[in-house]
Structure 1
Amino acid sequence: MIIDDKRIRIIIGHYGSGKSEFAMNYVTKLRNEVEGKVALSDLDVVNVYFRTREKKDLLNSLDILPIYSSIDAPTLDLPAISPQIMSPITDSSYSYVMDVGGDNVGARVVGRFHELIEKADYDMFCVVNANREYTQSVEDVIGHIRAIEKSSGLKVTGLVNNTHLVRSTTIDDVLKGQKLVEQVSRQYDIPVKYIVCLEELVPQLPEGLEGEIFPIKLYMREAWM
């Protein structure tokens, strides 16, 4: 259960993995399960599309603190990070989710604070979409994880199977990704934490899969997309 994860949850994943979608679903579920303060920081200064900062009004309405650019100019794309991201790291009254950029360059942002994060205790989850180029093989996924770990100074503690084709996702897509992350888990000695799929696909999942089933809604994709 997400309530049992470490207080600071860092979400990483390659472009197109659905990292920000997972982060949005994760933080909203977390808000329902914990008391006290909850914050979500958007640290993606690399990819300009589908970022959690786009949902700041929704987050505020759910009593989740959104942290993003230090410049309040939503029509501009500037790699400016608010110093506010520090507060939930050092303030143990926060449950904190950090949505980090999609590659080792993006991970350098969180790497600036790795010593503080290590002291505060954390989980870092790697979101994997086996339908995306660059993360379709065990070697590719492990290479991605190693690059992120080197850049951030932090260790990945769990794998998230989020293999999808947005609204065209089938149960075969999910199981394809599950086979991949279970192989990565055995070779790199990282547990599979979550199996992400659309709510309507959950009844089709077989028993005995590694990881906790994590149904999601599509927050980051409008109905017409």
Structure 2
Amino acid sequence: MKEVRPMTELQKDGICLPDGLADIILICGHYGCGKTNLALNLAAQCVKAGEKVTVVDMDIVNPYFRASDYGPLLESMGVELIAPGFAHSNVDLPSITTEMYSIFTRTGRIIIDVGGDDAGATALGRFSRRLKERPYTMLYVVNKYRSQSQSAEETVELLREIEMASHLEACAIVSNSHLMQYTTAQTVIDSFEYADEVCRLTGLPLAVTAAERRILPDLADCGRKIWPVDVLVTKPWETNGVQGDC
């Protein structure tokens, strides 16, 4: 049973937390869209809002940017991590573990970081029947500056592939167009028309526009609902503590 409620921004004790989400949140999108960083931010903000949070890394395809690589960070937040088999190792093909089935008996907020294309979403398809029995929110994260999703039409085609592979339907679009550390407010503003066209073609609402916290002052009058996020994901070749891809 998917939840299709549009999100609004809830200001609670200075915390910007997207509201209107089901307890089970699936975050999907093509490689480089920034979905893992958004999953980490959402987990952090849910914890600050007093929620019990579990992050499930279901990206068994991409060995470079996975929620599993941020186990210590999640632990420091008070977030429990469920990772695929062989996570934190040099094995490139991790697998679904039996622990992942525990999401259907857990309480609190469950945030699932889905694989970055139809191949990655296939793993999620194993759980589709049981997911449909509960309210869920599946967010499709888009970034117009990625090579394979620069047009709205390409982006929608990628979404349809993910939906077909996962046997689930997206509920809303999250615009997260960025150029990593080179992102400016104008970078985000220039993506508005693209995000609107993706919404028009899919018939899905624009849940929120994510933007790096450092450029928020320049977006104050942009007319969009902005979700401020921090860059928590680092590139594999960077030293610890150096921020990388959003």
Q: TM-score, normalised by structure 2?
A: 0.84
Structure 1 segments unaligned to the other structure (5+ residues): none
The aligned residue for residue 41 of structure 1 is 56
C-alpha distance in structure 2 between counterparts of 1:115 and 1:197, whole Å: 34
The aligned residue for residue 4 of structure 1 is 20
Instruction: For residue 182 of structure 1, report the CA deviation from its aligned partner.
Output: 1.0
Contact 1:111 1:152 in 2 (8 A): yes
Q: 1:85 aligns with which of 100, 103, 107?
A: 100
* One-letter amino acid of the structure 2 residue matched with residue 32 of structure 1: K
> What fraction of aligned residue pairs are identical, expressed as a percent?
31
Distance 1:218 1:123, change over 3 A: same
The aligned residue for residue 38 of structure 2 is 22
User: Which deviations, in whole Å up to 9, do the C-alpha atoms of 1:67-101 show, x marking residues without a partner?
Assistant: 1123465333332122212212343x221000011
1:220 aligns with 2:239: no
The aligned residue for residue 150 of structure 2 is 136
C-alpha distance in structure 1 between counterparts of 2:208 and 2:193, whole Å: 13
C-alpha distance in structure 2 between counterparts of 1:89 and 1:174, whole Å: 37
SS in 2 for 1:155: coil
1:110 aligns with 2:129: no
The aligned residue for residue 64 of structure 1 is 79
SS in 2 for 1:119: coil
Larger proportion of helix: 1
1:200 aligns with 2:214: yes
C-alpha distance in structure 1 between counterparts of 2:212 and 2:66, whole Å: 19
The aligned residue for residue 113 of structure 2 is 99
C-alpha distance in structure 2 between counterparts of 1:172 and 1:79, whole Å: 39
The aligned residue for residue 194 of structure 2 is 180
Contact 2:68 2:88 in 1 (8 A): no
Instruction: For residue 24 of structure 1, report the CA deviation from its aligned partner.
Output: 0.8
C-alpha distance in structure 1 between counterparts of 2:195 and 2:87, whole Å: 38
1:123 aligns with 2:142: no
C-alpha distance in structure 2 between counterparts of 1:72 and 1:163, whole Å: 28
Contact 1:41 1:85 in 2 (8 A): yes
Contact 1:39 1:67 in 2 (8 A): yes
Q: 1:74 aligns with which of 89, 99, 123?
A: 89
User: Which deviations, in whole Å up to 9, do the C-alpha atoms of 1:85-144 show, x marking residues without a partner?
Assistant: 2212343x2210000110011001111111111111111111111100111111111101
Instruction: For residue 224 of structure 1, report the CA deviation from its aligned partner.
Output: 6.5
Q: TM-score, normalised by structure 1?
A: 0.92
SS in 2 for 1:48: coil
SS in 2 for 1:133: coil
4+ residue stretches of structure 1 with deviation over 4 A? none
SS in 1 for 2:191: helix
C-alpha distance in structure 2 between counterparts of 1:89 and 1:110, whole Å: 13
Contact 1:128 1:177 in 2 (8 A): no
Structure 2 segments unaligned to the other structure (5+ residues): 1-8, 10-17, 235-240
* One-letter amino acid of the structure 2 residue matched with residue 174 of structure 1: V
Instruction: For residue 55 of structure 1, report the CA deviation from its aligned partner.
Output: 0.8
